[in-house]
Amino acid sequence: MSILEVQRILSHLGYNPGEHDGLDGPNTQAAVKAFQRKAGIKADGIAGPVTRGHLAEAYKNSRASEHFAMSEYQCDCDGMYCGGFPELMEEALLAQVENLRNRLGRPVIITSGVRCTQRNHEVGGIEYSKHKIGCAADLYCPGVHYSEVAAVARELGLGVIEYPEQLFVHVEV
Ligand SMILES: [Zn+2]
C-alpha cells in the first residue's frame, strides 16, 4: 500500500489527509494519527504495517455509498489471487453507481467490481479493462430492462457497454 493509497483510504473513511500527493506530510500524519486513535492502535502518525492492515480492513468493511457496501465491489476471485482490493475503487464511480441506483429508484446488484489481473484474465476481460483500476462495475437492476439501465447510466455521463446475452450492463468512469 503506497502513501497515495493510504491517503485515498483515509479520505474515503472521512479523515482529512490533505491533498492526495503521495507525500507523507503533516496533514497525512495527523489523519493517520486520528485513524489510529479510533482503531485503538498506537497513535504515532506513521502508517506502518499494522496501521496499513487496519486501513485495508476498514476500507473493505466501509460503505461504498449510501446504498452499497464496499464488499459488493471487491474482486470475486475469493481470495485466490488477491486480498479483495488489488486497486482502490474510484470515488467518482461509487458516486455514479449510487446516482444510478437512485434514478432507477430500486436496488441495483453489482456482479463485478474491481478485478485483479488474474481474475480479469479468467473471466475474459480485456487487458486494459477499467475493472482492473477500480473504475468500472457490471450491474443489473431486478425488474428493469437492461437497456433502460443503460440509458439512465448514459444520461448520467457514465461510459456504458450493454451485454444483452447476460442481461447486465458495464458502466465505467
Ligand atoms: Zn482477485
Q: What is the pLDDT of residues 138-168, one digit of tens each?
A: 999 999 999 999 999 999 999 999 998 989 9
Long-range contacts made by residues 161-165, C-beta under 8 angstroms, separation at least 24?
163/138
Q: Which CATH class is domain 1-61?
A: mainly alpha
Whole-number Å distance, alpha carbon 6 to ligand 1 midpoint, is 20
The confidence score (pLDDT) of residue 157 equals: 98
pLDDT tens digits, residue range 23-68?
Answer: 999 999 999 999 999 999 999 999 999 999 999 999 999 999 999 9
Nine-digit cell at 173? 468512469
The confidence score (pLDDT) of residue 158 equals: 98
Domains of the chain, by residue range, sit at 1-61, 68-173
- Rounded mean pLDDT of 85-89? 97
Surrounding ion ligand 1 within 5 Å at CB are 75, 77, 81-82, 116, 119
Whole-number Å distance, alpha carbon 76 to ligand 1 midpoint, is 6
Whole-number Å distance, alpha carbon 120 to ligand 1 midpoint, is 8
The confidence score (pLDDT) of residue 92 equals: 98
Q: In angstroms, what CA-CA distances link 39 with 3, 19, 59?
A: 19, 23, 12
Residue whose C-alpha is closest to residue 95's, from 72, 132, 62, 68: 68
Compute the distance between CA of residue 149 and CA of residue 143 in angstroms, rounded to an integer.
Answer: 10
Whole-number Å distance, alpha carbon 130 to ligand 1 midpoint, is 14
Percent of the chain residues past pLDDT 70, beyond the cut: 100
Fold of 68-173: Muramoyl-pentapeptide Carboxypeptidase; domain 2 (3.30.1380)
pLDDT tens digits, residue range 98-128?
Answer: 999 999 999 999 999 999 999 999 999 899 9
